[in-house]
A and B are shown apart, each in its own frame.
Chain A
């Protein structure tokens, strides 16, 4: 009787989980794989084949966009780590206990604001009639207004801004759990600041670093708004290609293939990152 109840409740608990994962994650992706393998041979006539993927390989603009998206995402991830780590360290270890909570909350504020508004803010700052340009003209540093928008640097600044919180939050929570005496021991054993950082702090923070990098990379590679709004017409982001295939050209087969490629690509990078750092998905992302 007791055992039956346990069984029943387990099944009842499993039901929502299964419905969710099966209907909204597993089946849609299977459907997408099948769709991506359908080749259009004539109007309304389809055949099984790898045509959609071959088209990707034959058209340099497609794979160039994917490579560009990937390399820029890696750059953004690296920048977010380099800029974010000192901030996380400051919040977790240097700030006083009172300031700590406040600074952490301040860090989270942009998280609660839509991507759209953040990009909009950057547009207002960077464009030709924008705040920075007007300010520089006013100070006399430049003679005529300058367009800071619609170039790769603007895209990178916007992306770093959008994702850096997802780097800082896991870093703060891992660094927070680190015992200060470990750092002191490092100094007592004669290490200088750099050695302590390299041999003690970074290895300890590794799960947080990996978690932050995974989420950051994934969000960057999958982002749509920031590259398009800040990069303008020639942002060439891969998600834009997917959107064009799906909505503009109504070529769902091609779009599904592109979606699979992006998914495979990001999964591959994440898998490599996990392998190289010796971490698992469960003890990094799931913890933050």
Chain B
């Protein structure tokens, strides 16, 4: 190994570098979370003592996040959007996995690259391109047929579609990787024992894919929840949490309530991430 032949000081320095790096990783997260508990009107030093007001306080100026209507509404919209995005992405990811692992069709490589492409398109551009197409379609329908298609205007549906357009690539890759590991003799055995195609799919193949599907769903949920770039252009009046928080930060200036939201989100996504790791490890460790 690279470091083994070296003297100990080298390895020690290397270790120190790794530790410094992890401090660098943790520093902004700790500062974003810790000030949620500071009994001060500004998220800054000095430390004024511990408080939970920024979570549960119900009076101005220390209105806690659980009493802040707009933040709670943002949280709700984010949740709804993320659920739809996760469900859609897992569904399409699963069909894509079958398509690319089992299917046999011309120009398969080309289509596979098409599937990966949304991941390398900047999120801002996905957002504006979908906005442009939806608005063009809506305008055309209005002019030609005098039909007003409200759902093609910026709003929840467009946000869901915009996020789905690249999150589906992530879920497809995760589920495809899992399906590739599947031992097809298991299916053959089931057919030999007289099972129908639907039954084999339901009792053998899908259970095998389940950990990957759940993990992909959690990843999709989290990526959707924290997305900003694509959402920014497609958002209507129902602003999800990241947009609400950004508005607060840019216009009102930051108060520790934003730290409280940050802390809440970090704990929430940390738990979800841990869950996805446990689910995947549980079943794949053999």
| Docked pose: A17 CA to B94 CA in angstroms | 10
Contact between B46 and A134, CB atoms less than 8 A apart: yes
| A269, chain B: closest CB distance, angstroms | 11
| Docked pose: A135 CA to B118 CA in angstroms | 44
Contacts of A214 in B (CB 8 A): 120
Given contacts A222-B229, A259-B124, A281-B113, contact A124 B103 (CB under 8 A): no
Given contacts A112-B269, A113-B266, contact A10 B2 (CB under 8 A): no
Contacts of A83 in B (CB 8 A): 21
A285 at the interface (CB under 8 A from B): yes
Q: Which residue of B lies closest to A252 (CB)?
A: B132
Contacts of A125 in B (CB 8 A): 27-28, 31
Contact between A243 and B232, CB atoms less than 8 A apart: yes
Contacts of A118 in B (CB 8 A): 28-29, 32
The one of B1, B22, B35, B262 in contact with A183, judged by C-beta atoms closer than 8 angstroms, is: B1
| B193, chain A: closest CB distance, angstroms | 18
The one of A5, A17, A31, A196 in contact with B2, judged by C-beta atoms closer than 8 angstroms, is: A196
Contacts of A196 in B (CB 8 A): 2
The one of B99, B105, B249 in contact with A229, judged by C-beta atoms closer than 8 angstroms, is: B249
- The bracket for how many chain B residues form the interface is 35 or more
B157 at the interface (CB under 8 A from A): no
B192 at the interface (CB under 8 A from A): no
The residue among A13, A183, A197, A247 with the most chain B CB atoms within 10 A of its own CB is A13
- The bracket for how many chain A residues form the interface is 35 or more
Instruction: Tell me the B30-59 residues at the A interface (CB within 8 Å).
Output: 30-32, 35, 42-46
Contact between B129 and A113, CB atoms less than 8 A apart: no
A123 at the interface (CB under 8 A from B): yes
B149 at the interface (CB under 8 A from A): no
Contacts of B42 in A (CB 8 A): 129
A 22-44 binary contact with B (CB < 8 Å = 1; else 0): 00110111011001000000000
Contacts of A203 in B (CB 8 A): none
Given contacts A129-B42, A134-B45, A262-B122, contact A224 B129 (CB under 8 A): no
Q: Which residue of B lies closest to A157 (CB)?
A: B24
Contact between A86 and B14, CB atoms less than 8 A apart: yes
Contacts of A67 in B (CB 8 A): none
Contact between A28 and B130, CB atoms less than 8 A apart: yes
B245 at the interface (CB under 8 A from A): yes
Given contacts A16-B92, A114-B265, A225-B229, contact A201 B2 (CB under 8 A): yes
A180 at the interface (CB under 8 A from B): yes
B168 at the interface (CB under 8 A from A): yes
Given contacts A108-B273, A113-B266, A115-B228, contact A17 B111 (CB under 8 A): yes
The residue among A32, A93, A121 with the most chain B CB atoms within 10 A of its own CB is A121
The one of A31, A86, A201, A259 in contact with B133, judged by C-beta atoms closer than 8 angstroms, is: A31
| Docked pose: A113 CA to B263 CA in angstroms | 10
Contact between B269 and A25, CB atoms less than 8 A apart: no
B112 at the interface (CB under 8 A from A): yes
| Docked pose: A33 CA to B152 CA in angstroms | 20
| B203, chain A: closest CB distance, angstroms | 18
| Docked pose: A17 CA to B44 CA in angstroms | 49
| A229, chain B: closest CB distance, angstroms | 7
The one of A94, A121, A122, A255 in contact with B14, judged by C-beta atoms closer than 8 angstroms, is: A94
Q: Which residue of B lies closest to A288 (CB)?
A: B173
Contact between B242 and A24, CB atoms less than 8 A apart: no
Contacts of B197 in A (CB 8 A): 5
B277 at the interface (CB under 8 A from A): yes
A 127-163 binary contact with B (CB < 8 Å = 1; else 0): 0011100110000000000000000000000000100
Using a CB–CB cutoff of 8 Å, the interface residues on chain A facing chain B are 5, 10, 12-14, 16-17, 20-21, 24-25, 27-29, 31-32, 35, 83, 86-87, 89-90, 93-94, 103, 105-110, 112-118, 120-125, 129-131, 134-135, 161, 180, 183-184, 187, 193, 196-197, 201, 214-215, 218-219, 221-225, 229, 239, 242-243, 246-247, 252, 255-256, 259, 262-263, 266, 270, 281-282, 285-286
A-B contacts, 17 listed (Cβ < 8 Å): A10-B103, A25-B126, A28-B132, A94-B14, A106-B22, A110-B29, A112-B222, A113-B269, A121-B262, A131-B45, A183-B2, A193-B5, A224-B232, A225-B228, A229-B249, A262-B125, A286-B112
